[in-house]
Amino acid sequence: MKIRFTVNERQHECEVDAQTRLLDLLREDLALTGTKEGCGEGECGACTVLIDGRAVNSCLVLAPQVDGKSVLTIEGLAQGEALHPIQQAFVEQGGVQCGFCTPGFIMSTYALLQENPSPSDDEILTALEGNLCRCTGYTKIVEAVRTAARLLQETR
Ligand code: FES
Ligand code: FES
């Protein structure tokens, strides 16, 4: 079947099978490999993208479900060479080690800060509970989210 949708503000028209996962459509058909596959079962959050502003696990979404919708991936955040403030905050605060989980954390953070520009630590932890990191111990990630919130407020 044919679907039309927007990814990072660009229109796409793709021929997909009913069972194609959004994760595979992004990575294989559109070469947007910033979105990672960890568990493939909705447990790790490495594949998080936004659909119409809501953070979802793209391994659990079928391509036909995004017909007519707008998808934002990690590739849609930086402006040319300039990192998005959330990316900048993760780098500055040491919230990135191996980096495998990072796109997912950043997309979940993006969704959180759109909805709640000044989250408490508890709200940050709740928003990120679907994202797993094997490396950082989370403290630096929470610090990165706090820093990102501050940076975004300064640019508003
Ligand atoms: S790969 Fe989608 S949640 Fe782990
Ligand atoms: S930085 Fe390695 S899994 Fe999170």
pLDDT in tens, 35-47: 999 999 999 999 9
Q: What pLDDT score was predicted for residue 156?
A: 74
Q: What pLDDT score was predicted for residue 54?
A: 97
Ligand 1 mean position to 156 CA, how many Å?
Answer: 32
Given the CA of residue 95, which atom of ligand 2 is nearest to it?
1
pLDDT exceeds cutoff 90 at 14: yes
Residue whose tokens read 């910033």: 34
Mutate to test the pocket of ligand 2, among 39, 47, 48, 135 (most ligand atoms within 8 A of CB): 135
Ligand 1 mean position to 44 CA, how many Å?
Answer: 5
Q: What pLDDT score was predicted for residue 62?
A: 98
Q: What pLDDT score was predicted for residue 105?
A: 98
Distance set, CA 19 to CA 24, 59, 154 (Å): 10, 11, 43
Residue 111: which of 75, 135, 86, 81 has the closest Cα? 86
Mean pLDDT over the full length of the chain: 97
CA distance 94 to 145: 11
CA distance 45 to 55: 10
CA distance 51 to 73: 9
Percentage above 70 pLDDT, the chain? 100
Q: What pLDDT score was predicted for residue 155?
A: 83
pLDDT exceeds cutoff 80 at 27: yes
Percentage above 90 pLDDT, the chain? 98
- pTM of the model as a whole: 0.97
Mutate to test the pocket of ligand 2, among 39, 100, 107, 145 (most ligand atoms within 8 A of CB): 100
Residue 5: which of 101, 89, 70 has the closest Cα? 70
User: pLDDT tens digit string along 85-124?
Assistant: 999 999 999 999 999 999 999 999 999 999 999 999 999 9
CA distance 111 to 107: 6
